[in-house]
Structure 1
Amino acid sequence: MAFGLEAISPVEVSLNSPRVEYFDVEASREGIQLHNVLMKEVRDEASKRVLQQQVRAAANFNKKVKVKQFLVGDLVLRESAASQPTITGKFKALWEGPYQVTGVIAPGTYRVSMLDRIPLKNAWNTIHLKKFYQ
């Protein structure tokens, strides 16, 4: 279907095929309108199913997430791959620190500083931090 009309080959037009002879313009328009209405319903149902699947996937993901919360003053280690991604190697340290949490920007996002109170310029997410135990 192109531009709301069904395509007809030149051979069908010249030989008067049954499709051309018995073609009814009104029936064709009604069929196209019905098709459009049904297609809208199909799309609505599909969008509902997609939304339900997204909700299920989010719930499945969220039940596996371990919530880590730090308080101001807690000592934490920072993931070295997040702070220096270009340094690689078998013997590199996986964690750096300890650092002290100096502020909570949002749930899961923290400002940290070195132990001598020099703040780090970036904020850090909990996935890149872990609690330091003395």
Structure 2
Amino acid sequence: MPFFMVYGSKAVLPTDLDYGAPRVKAYNEQGAKTSLEDAMDQLDEARNIALLRSAKYQQALRRYHSCHVWGRAFNVKDLVLRLVQSNKNRHKLSLSWEGPYIIVEVLYPGTYKLKFIDDKVFTNA
């Protein structure tokens, strides 16, 4: 979030104070109060602009996702790999997928009940 939106004014850097930036030299206490009131009016406008930009970004992201990411549905008896969720006792060369698993039941779209395949139990049908 920009400094202006948090504090209601533009940031003054330490180097601006040390070297006497024009904005620091032109500082006026009386003018600061009026500019603070103006800035407070601009703050609501800046928040609305940020909200609109965020909504526009979310829409573009959603549009990209729907165009470039394809959904995939699996059926019972399909073989799948599962992404390892825990990083405990892992390093960068560890495998990120485990399995294979067999889908035993489709609970609802995108959620499956898996069973680890044991060579003795698994029969290819």
TM-score (norm 1): 0.48
Compute the displacement of 1:19 (Å).
5.9
Aligned equivalent of 2:61, options 37, 46, 57? 57
* Structure 1 unmatched ranges of 5 or more: 10-17, 117-132
SS at match of 1:100: strand
CA deviation digits over 1:23-52, x for unaligned, max 9?
573x54232111111122022112211121
Once residues 37 and 81 of structure 1 are traced to their aligned partners in structure 2, the CA distance between those partners, rounded to angstroms, is 50
Q: Is 1:101 matched up with 2:104? A: yes
Structure with bigger strand share is 1
Tell me the number of residue pairs that the alignment of Structure 1 and Structure 2 aligns: 95
Equivalence map 1:1-134=2 (5 Å): 25=30, 27-71=31-75, 74-79=76-81, 82=84, 96-97=100-101, 99-104=102-107, 106-113=108-115
User: Which AA in structure 1 matches 2:112?
Assistant: Y
State which structure, 1 or 2, has the greater radius of gyration over its C-alpha atoms: 1
Change beyond 3 A, Cα 1:95–1:115: closer
Compute the displacement of 1:58 (Å).
1.9
Work out which structure has the larger RCO, using CA pairs closer than 8 Å and 6 or more positions apart in sequence. 1
The answer to whether the 8 A contact 1:70-1:101 is kept is no
Q: Which runs of 4+ in 1 moved over 3 A?
A: 80-83, 85-89
Compute the displacement of 1:69 (Å).
1.9
Once residues 29 and 117 of structure 2 are traced to their aligned partners in structure 1, the CA distance between those partners, rounded to angstroms, is 84
TM-score (norm 2): 0.50
User: Which AA in structure 1 matches 2:35?
Assistant: G
Fraction of identical pairs, as percent: 15
SS at match of 1:113: strand
SS at match of 1:75: coil
Compute the displacement of 1:107 (Å).
2.6
